[in-house]
């Protein structure tokens, strides 16, 4: 049976900080363009926090709503005074973020080995399909599997069980590929293999005693190790 690689999307395949240039322009109108990188980081962190909190509360909403609420919060926290038009524009930009430069080539090499590749995301299927299409990599995946199908968020164990059920593949033949330590730990806790894409050498891994099976710097390195 072929090994399945389940790729996280935001931050692993797609560069979530691709919005920084747009933030510089929008924040520049209020004289705060230099805050763009910080704004991007806090927006992403808050979006994940909101998904964790909603998961614990049993108050699921689509991931896009977490993203918009996190945008509103970050605007308030940094007092950047973005208009509703600016926020709508930034949400549109978020829906067409670029893939990391090595993504296409790495996916091609992995597919050539006979491994099955799927996208596995907190985003809705519609949102992820659109994101992958505009990035030119949708055809590299045999399927898109969304947590929206069971109304839970990573790292809920039910999410990884849903992935296995959809794939109909034993846990030992399933790898999660993610740049997010919480996702890697969640997958390992659920019995899957997991590779951590450590895109920043400054990024620490959570000291929980649960380690990734494999750590790589990018998807090229992943294809070298698993290919």
Counting residues of the chain whose pLDDT is more than 90, the rounded percentage is: 91
Which token pair is 104? 């296409």
CATH number at residue 70: 1.10.150.240
List beta partners, residue 118. Answer: 6, 143
Q: Identify the band that residue 169 occupies on the pLDDT scale cut at 50, 70 and 90.
A: confident
User: What's the mean pLDDT in 86-107?
Assistant: 95
Range of the domain at 90: 17-94
Which token pair is 105? 């080539």
Annotated active-site residue 8? The verdict is yes
Stated pTM of the model:
0.94
pLDDT, position 30: 82
Predicted confidence (pLDDT) per residue in 108-129, tens digit: 999 999 999 999 999 999 999 9
pLDDT at 1 over 70: no
Q: Looking up tokens 């949102």, which residue turns up? A: 127
* Sign of the C-alpha dihedral computed for residues 186, 198, 105 and 148 taken in this order: positive
Domain boundary among 37, 65, 94: 94
For residues 70 and 119, state if they share a domain.
no
Q: Which of the following is catalytic: 8, 75, 86, 218?
A: 8
């Amino acid at each position: 049976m072929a090994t399945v690689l389940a790729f996280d999307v935001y931050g692993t395949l797609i560069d979530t900080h691709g919005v920084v240039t747009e933030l510089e322009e929008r924040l520049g109108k209020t004289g705060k363009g230099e805050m763009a990188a910080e704004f991007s980081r806090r927006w992403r962190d808050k979006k994940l926090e909101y998904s964790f909190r909603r998961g614990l509360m049993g108050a699921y909403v689509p991931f896009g709503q977490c993203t918009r609420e996190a945008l509103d919060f970050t605007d308030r926290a940094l007092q950047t005074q973005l208009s509703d038009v600016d926020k709508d524009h930034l949400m549109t930009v978020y829906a067409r973020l670029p893939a990391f430069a090595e993504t296409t080539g790495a996916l091609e090499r992995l597919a050539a080995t006979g491994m099955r590749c799927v996208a596995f995301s907190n985003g809705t299927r519609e949102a992820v399909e659109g994101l992958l299409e505009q990035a030119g990599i949708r055809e590299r995946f045999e399927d898109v599997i969304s947590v929206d199908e069971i109304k839970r968020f990573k790292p809920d164990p039910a999410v990884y069980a849903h992935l296995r059920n959809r794939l109909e593949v034993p846990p030992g033949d399933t790898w999660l590929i993610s740049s997010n330590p919480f996702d890697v730990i969640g997958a390992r806790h659920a019995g899957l293999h997991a590779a951590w894409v450590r895109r920043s050498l400054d990024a620490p891994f959570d000291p929980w005693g649960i380690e990734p099976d494999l750590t790589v710097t990018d998807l090229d390195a992943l294809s070298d190790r698993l290919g």
